[in-house]
Amino acid sequence: MKKIIMIKIPGCPYCANARRAIAALKQEEAYRDVQVEEIDETTQPELAAPYGKDYYYVPSLFIEGEKQFEAKPGMDYDTIYAAVKQAFDRARA
């Protein structure tokens, strides 16, 4: 199973929705073991830097350095949930 990296910033409502989706998915047996490492762009810039050329908005999800999802302004929870679920499925593959 591959680890998901989530780039986030404090106070971001889209990041909050992604975290909510992650928590919901982790309640399901199939997704309990999926690892998500959160990197705070503002407090951990050195960890976010390797991903910087591949995203503009947060949250952004990566698996093995490849972008799986990048939120866009105006995205609702259901859209973010579906994208997070897709990333979880890829991490499990």
- Contact present, 63 and 36 (Cβ < 8 Å): no
Residue 92's pLDDT band (boundaries 50, 70, 90)? very high
pLDDT of residue 68: 98
- DSSP code of residue 2: P
pLDDT, tens digit, for every residue of 30-88? 999 999 999 999 999 999 999 999 999 999 999 999 999 999 999 999 999 999 999 99
Mean pLDDT, residues 17-32 taken together: 97
- Contact present, 60 and 69 (Cβ < 8 Å): yes
The β-bridge relationship of strands 66-70 and 60-63 is: antiparallel
Q: Please name the residue that has the structure tokens 């897709």.
A: 86
In order of their start, the domains of the chain are 4-92 (3.40.30.10)
